[in-house]
Every structure is written in C-alpha cells, then in structure tokens.
Structure 1
Amino acid sequence: MLRFAHTGFLWGLAAIPLFILFFGWLSQWKKRAIASLGDKHVVKQLMPAVSSSTPWIKFALFLLAYASLITGLADPQVGSKMEEVKRESADLMILLDVSNSMLSEDLAPNRLENARRAIAQLIDNLHNDRIGLVVFAGQAYVQLPVTTDYSAAKLFLNTINTNMVPTQGTAIGAAIDLGIRSFDFKNGTGKSIIIITDGENHEDDAISAAKDALEKDVTVNVIGVGSVDGAPIPMYYNGQKSGFRTDSTGKPVVTKLNEDMCKQIAAAGNGTYVRASNANSGLNIIMDQIAKMQRKTVSSKSFRDFEDRFQFFLGLALLCLVAEFFISNKKSSRLSKVKLFEVRS
C-alpha cells in the first residue's frame, strides 16, 4: 500500500506541463532567431560545435529531477506488512450532567471540570472500545455518537460547558433513554452507561429508565460528584465570578450530592456507584467492572509499519541535477569523429 505523508507538495507536479510549454516556445524562438541570420545550413556550418540534441537531454533531466524532488518532498510511504488484526470491543456511553449545580466548587476546581478531566483520562486509557457522549440538564443531547475516534471525543469534551443546554434542571431519566437509543444493538458488543452527576434529579423517573436499560442488557453505572454538605453555585460574568446564586429570600442556593438517588439508579441498572473525590474520580473502579463486560471480537485487515521512501526520490533528483550540470551544449569531440554510416571507398 502506497501513501504520501504530505500530499500538498504533489500540487507542484502541476508545473511540469508549464515547463514543457515554455521549453517548446523557447526552442521555436531560437529556431526563428537562427533562421533570421541566413540559410540554416550555412549557419549550422558556422556553429559546428553546437549540439541540437543536448538541450533536450538536459531539459529531460531537469524535468525528471524536478518530479523526483516534488515526490520526495511529499514523502511516499509503503506499507510493508498487511496482517489480520483482532480487536475486542465494547460500547460505552458517558452521560455528563451540565446543569448549573455542576459549577459548585466542593470538588476542585469545580464539579464539571473535575468530571471533564476524569473523562479525558478515561479516553486516554481506551484502546478498542467505542465511546459516546451525552450531555444533559433539563434536556439531553447527544454530543458525540458512539465512535472509536478518541481524538474527536477529546475535542468535543473540551467544548462542554453549562451554557450548552438551554433548559436547566437535571433530567437523568431522559439522558438514560437517549443513551440507550444511541447504541447499535446489532453489533453484539457489551454495552454500558456511565452517568456523572450530582444526583439532583428533579425532572423524571431515572430509576425506571435505568431498569429499562437493564432489560436491554445495558448496565448503568453512576459516579456521584459533589459533597453531602453541599456548596453554593457560583455565577460568572465575562468569565469572572460575580457572586453566588440566591433563592427568593436572598440566601445562597446550596447544592448537595444526592447520594441516595445515585445509589438507587446504579442498583436499578445493575451497575456500580462510586463517589468521586479530589483524589479519585471513581472512573477506575467503574472501568474495572466494565472490563468484565461481554466483548465482541472484530477482525480486520490493516497495513502497518509504513516506511519512508523519500530518500530514493531525493537521491534521483540530485543525480539528475549533477548529470544535467556536466552535460555540455557542445558536441563531444570524440563522438563527432565516430561516423557510423560513412561509406568508405
């Protein structure tokens, strides 16, 4: 299998037809210039040492050198091996709470940022498993469909904030339902949902949703973020903290981790509940449980060990340029003495 590491350089090959047109025009111009001096046979006898073929040879060497240089800069690579790779895969869907309460700072620097860092570490430790991402507050949205593109997953993760869901609240049940619908149940792989939330569910029946997931062989795991003592919810203006959210009486709104709700959801989904802390996100414990899930072996053929071949093309370009430099426009005195078709009497 052949590929180019820097395909943009290949556009330079488009200049070759221009070089050919320019050389053809230049050759015609020289012929007209010589013809203007007099009879071409007489003029040719006045310049016996000038060769008419060497310019074409030098130009051909120049074109070959140019094409080789451009090809070398594009870095052609050859896949030296093709082998069958077997992968064992499972599907994970992470449901991340992005309600305003996730800005509370009882986990440093705040609950949401703590969760994002944990998910990023999880992605770094994945190999073959597919991962998807749902964000939810008062409503749930698929932020990233299930995929093995971990770079895209981290890119989407970096864009998550509490302003991306217009309706505030904590609709955990809706998020679970959406997570279930996002799975491909035809591929036969084990499936699991990981919910990261403070558990303040005010919108729907999350426990029933977790039971529905279990009926479809999807386990539901929960990571609780926050403290049972709670913390106020900060407000921001132009990126700067401007105070805390207050209730109708003017007192700061304190949000607490609803650990009982989190435990009930995990129990209903036959999953694991872990409480996150500043020292431990809890994802490693969840992943130990997920490692026991059913995985489907997927076979695929792939090229690997791509080897660079640019050095051959750069070497050929240098060789052609050196040869072009040493070829003279004059006829060789030795070759001119050789008369292959001279008839001797």
Structure 2
Amino acid sequence: MFRFEEPTYLYLLLLLPIIAAFYLLSNYRRRKAIRSFGDPTLLAQLMPDVSKYRPDIKFWIIFAAIALFTVLLARPQFGSKLETVKRKGVEVIIALDISNSMLAQDVQPSRLEKSKRLVSRLVDELDNDKVGLIVFAGDAFTQLPITSDYISAKMFLESISPSLISKQGTAIGQAIGLATRSFTPQEGVGRSIIVITDGENHEGGAVEAAKDAAGKAIQVSVLGVGMPDGAPIPIEGSNDYRRDREGNVIVTRLDEGMCQEIAKEGKGIYVRVDNTNSAQKAISQEISKMSKADVESKVYTEYNEQFQAIAWIILVLLLIEMLILERKNPLFRNIHLFSNKK
C-alpha cells in the first residue's frame, strides 16, 4: 500500500511548469539577442568553445532534481504488510431510516440530513471501535459491513438517500434483526445498535427484535428524528408536498411512544433528535459506558520510508550537472565523430 505522509508538499509541483516556461522564454530571448549581433553560423565560428545544448541539458537535470526533491519532501511510503491489530474498543452498528418521511424538514435541514450529520460526528468520536451501517425503509440492507475504516464509513454515508430502497415503510424490526446478525463472532466485546428513525408507519416486530438483541447482550438505543407535531414531506425536485389519494398533504409525525418502547426492551436509551447536538452527545456518552475489549482490526502497518532511493537519484543528477561544463571541453574540441572528412 502506497501513500505520502506529507502530501501537501506535492502542491509545489505546480510551480514546475512556471519555472520551465520562464526558462524557455529566457532562452528564446537570449538566442534572439545573439542573432541580432550577426549571422549565427559566423558567430559560432568566432566562439568555438560555446556549447549550444549543454546549458539546456544542465537546466533540465536541475529541473528533474527539483521535481524529485518535491516528491521527497512529501515522504513517499509503502505499507510493508497487513497485520491484525488488537485495540480496546466496542462494536457499533447504526441502522438509519431512509424512508420518504425522513425528508420532512421539521428538523433542519431535514430529518435525513440531520441524521447523516449526527452519524458523521458520532463516527468522528469513535476511537479504536468498529462501526457498521445499515439502511432501511420497507426493506433493510447493509450499506457498510462492520469495520474500523472510519473514512469509508463517512464516504458511504454521503451517498445515502431514499432512492436506495424502492419499497417504502419503516421495517425497524428487520433492520434490528439484520444488525444483530452483523456483529463479529468475537467474544467479550461491547455491542450496540443505534436506530435512527422517525418511527412512522412501523411494520411490527421491532419490539420483539430489540428484546431478542438484548438477550444476546446487544444494546439497542433509538434516536427519534422529528417533532410530534409533524411536517409535510417535500417531493424532491419540486416545490410541492406528497399527498394522499384524496389530494390532502401528508403530514409525518415522530412516533415517540414506539421509539421509547423499542429502546426500553433493547436495554438502551431513547433520545429525540432536535436542532441541537444533544442527541449525539447523549449517545456518545452511552457508548463510552460500554465495556471495551480487544477489537481485532486488519490494518497496514510499518510504513517504510522510500526517500532513500529518491535522495540517491537526486545526488547523482546533481553530480552529473556539476561535471557537465557549459563550454566545450578543450581536450575534445578537435574530435568530430560524425563529421565528413574531405
């Protein structure tokens, strides 16, 4: 696995085209000035020791050395091997509701966007833990298997939208059941399922699934997104709202009673997600209380610095540049390997 430890230095490479352009322009002006003194062929005979190509060769050698030195500053590294690393942590699977009702804007900017931002901040606070991501509406599926790769978790999070699942509904029970089966088989690790939902159009089986998870030492907490007073569901790409068969605007409301019952049976906590960060803080505190055990993760370790080879190449280039004289060597002035003898 290859990486740069200090990739910011690579921006210096953007200066190289400017340096090259400046040199070519200066070279052009210099040769134009020489031509103004007289015939180039005659001038070449008057200055037999002047080399036409050596200054260019010396410049491009220095140019290459500067480019390689910039790469050297960025510290190229190779991961030598993939290792299993044990760290103290817990396992957390987030089950996120992506049904159309999560587009309601009683929580700004919307229930779904607020939930995604909450999950992002929650992932940022995880330390040596594993996280997985499940999305659900009328169906549930794994968006990201449980992993310690937080960058991938946040990347998958950005792509989540209601269009991922065509079947509408709120299959919380199915999501909890899938999450329960998605943990690693490792023993002694604290496990938690965090359900983020508005709880509307609940399809049944959620309370039973939470109770079953708690029986397996898996804590189920619920974050209720929205307001009990509710809000209309906007239609994406328009200024209108979703309507029922009679043409009335559909108002979606947070079902707190159902969310609280699931959390109670799951031995977890219930927190309403509003326009503050209180829900994220509450669930982070709950996770921190869980018993941590050695969590195994496969990671690339022992990144080896690769600057030595580049440094040697730079040194060789600089030595060559020093050995190349701008004028022709007097010892070889009269040697013409490719000239025709008359």
- Alpha-carbon displacement from aligned partner over 1:185-218 (angstroms, at most 9, x marks no partner): 2254211100000112432210000011111111
Residue number in structure 1 paired with 2:27: none
Is residue 280 of structure 2 the alignment partner of residue 280 of structure 1? no
Residue number in structure 2 paired with 1:315: 315
Whole-angstrom distance in 1 between the partners of 2:3 and 2:64:
14
Q: Pick from 268, 272, 282: which aligns with 1:271?
A: 268
TM-score (norm 1): 0.69
Answer whether contact 2:222 2:270 (CA < 8 A) is retained.
Answer: yes
Answer whether contact 2:77 2:303 (CA < 8 A) is retained.
Answer: no
Residue number in structure 1 paired with 2:244: 247
Residue number in structure 2 paired with 1:261: 258
Q: Please state how far the C-alpha of 1:306 moved relative to its aligned partner.
A: 5.2
Q: Please state how far the C-alpha of 1:331 moved relative to its aligned partner.
A: 5.2
Whole-angstrom distance in 1 between the partners of 2:247 and 2:88:
55
Q: Please state how far the C-alpha of 1:329 moved relative to its aligned partner.
A: 6.1
Task: Say if 1:3 and 1:147 are closer, same or farther in 2 by CA, change over 3 A.
Answer: closer
Q: Please state how far the C-alpha of 1:176 moved relative to its aligned partner.
A: 0.4
TM-score (norm 2): 0.69
Whole-angstrom distance in 2 between the partners of 1:155 and 1:225:
22
- Give the residue type in structure 2 aligned to 1:272: I
Q: Please state how far the C-alpha of 1:317 moved relative to its aligned partner.
A: 1.8
Is residue 227 of structure 2 the alignment partner of residue 227 of structure 1? yes
Residue number in structure 1 paired with 2:135: 135
Q: Please state how far the C-alpha of 1:66 moved relative to its aligned partner.
A: 11
Question: Can you give the 5+ residue segments of structure 1 that lack an aligned partner in the other structure?
Answer: 7-63, 333-345
Residue number in structure 1 paired with 2:176: 176
Q: Please state how far the C-alpha of 1:4 moved relative to its aligned partner.
A: 6.7
Answer whether contact 1:228 1:257 (CA < 8 A) is retained.
Answer: yes
Question: Can you give the 5+ residue segments of structure 2 that lack an aligned partner in the other structure?
Answer: 8-60, 79-83, 333-342
Answer whether contact 1:274 1:285 (CA < 8 A) is retained.
Answer: yes
Answer whether contact 2:139 2:171 (CA < 8 A) is retained.
Answer: yes
- Give the residue type in structure 2 aligned to 1:263: Q
Whole-angstrom distance in 1 between the partners of 2:304 and 2:188:
31
Residue number in structure 2 paired with 1:119: 119
The secondary structure found in structure 1 opposite 2:267 is coil
Answer whether contact 1:72 1:313 (CA < 8 A) is retained.
Answer: no
Answer whether contact 2:90 2:295 (CA < 8 A) is retained.
Answer: no
Task: Say if 1:201 and 1:246 are closer, same or farther in 2 by CA, change over 3 A.
Answer: closer
The secondary structure found in structure 2 opposite 1:271 is strand
Larger Rg: 1
Answer whether contact 2:139 2:165 (CA < 8 A) is retained.
Answer: yes
Is residue 97 of structure 2 the alignment partner of residue 97 of structure 1? yes
Whole-angstrom distance in 1 between the partners of 2:116 and 2:211:
27
Q: Please state how far the C-alpha of 1:127 moved relative to its aligned partner.
A: 2.5
Task: Say if 1:65 and 1:125 are closer, same or farther in 2 by CA, change over 3 A.
Answer: same
Residue number in structure 1 paired with 2:302: 303
- Alpha-carbon displacement from aligned partner over 1:30-76 (angstroms, at most 9, x marks no partner): xxxxxxxxxxxxxxxxxxxxxxxxxxxxxxxxxx9999888756536
- Report the aligned-residue RMSD: 3.5
Whole-angstrom distance in 2 between the partners of 1:155 and 1:196:
18
Residue number in structure 1 paired with 2:53: none
Whole-angstrom distance in 2 between the partners of 1:282 and 1:306:
43
Residue number in structure 2 paired with 1:106: 106
Task: Say if 1:245 and 1:180 are closer, same or farther in 2 by CA, change over 3 A.
Answer: same
Residue number in structure 2 paired with 1:185: 185
